[in-house]
Amino acid sequence: MKELTDLKRLTMSAACMALCVVLPMAFHAIPNAGSIFAPMHIPVLICGLSCGPVHGLVCGLAGPFLSSVLTGMPGAGYLPVMMVELAAYGLLTGLFMRFIRTGKSYADLYLSLILAMALGRVIAGVFRALIWTPGEYAIAAWMSGYFVTALPGILIQLAIVPGIVFALMKAHLVPARVQPAA
């Protein structure tokens, strides 16, 4: 398998968007679980790594929007920040996966994932500080919310996302390297 067909990309993207709705519902029985475990991040990261930057971006925008419309999570006040953050994750994981070439699949996956997770948090923090809540957002709040509170979610993402994408590669559901869409 040299390239992921458009139909497979769309199908996988749709499945990831559906998981953006379903996964948070499983976690939100626990108070503050969305902020702690970040379940919606997992399908967006998988989509970006396996389907490429465009589909990752769309999944990152549509996933939180669909979840908000269908379940009320995230709430309207937090939805724009969440959409920006997840769109950045989807876009960046796809871009990094396209350009990082270490010769080792796991190394490519982890480097792409870690860089995208770090830059996505910076982008979301800048969006929140400069546009969404200008003058009200401190760096301590950003560090606390995006790194300290979310540490369990970050560890979960680092533990399972590369394994899932690698399993999709081994099952030949996605190519070992994402090719540009025709």
Alpha-carbon distance of 111 to 121, in angstroms, equals: 16
* Torsion from C-alpha of 166, 168, 171, 172, nearest 10 degrees: -100
Exposed e or buried b per residue across 148-158, where buried means at least 16 C-beta atoms within 10 angstroms of its C-beta: eebeebbebbe
Q: At what angle do helices 53-71 and 41-51 cross, to 10 degrees?
A: 150
How far is Cα of residue 143 from the mean position of the Cα atoms in its chain? 19
CB atoms near residue 73 (< 10 Å) = 19
Q: Is the pTM of this model over 0.75?
A: yes
Tell me what pLDDT residue 178 has: 45
For residue 177, what pLDDT band results from cuts at 50, 70 and 90? low
Alpha-carbon distance of 4 to 133, in angstroms, equals: 40
Q: What is the pLDDT of residues 120-148, one digit of tens each?
A: 999 988 888 887 677 776 777 778 778 88
How far is Cα of residue 85 from the mean position of the Cα atoms in its chain? 8
Alpha-carbon distance of 140 to 123, in angstroms, equals: 16
Alpha-carbon distance of 157 to 79, in angstroms, equals: 21
- Helix segments in 100-150, DSSP class H: 105-127, 139-143
Q: What is the pLDDT of residues 46-71, one digit of tens each?
A: 999 999 999 999 999 999 999 999 99
Report the residue count for the chain: 182
For residue 2, what pLDDT band results from cuts at 50, 70 and 90? low
Domain residue extents for the chain: 6-31+38-170
6-31+38-170: what CATH class?
A: mainly alpha
Closest CA to 49 of 8, 4, 94, 92: 94
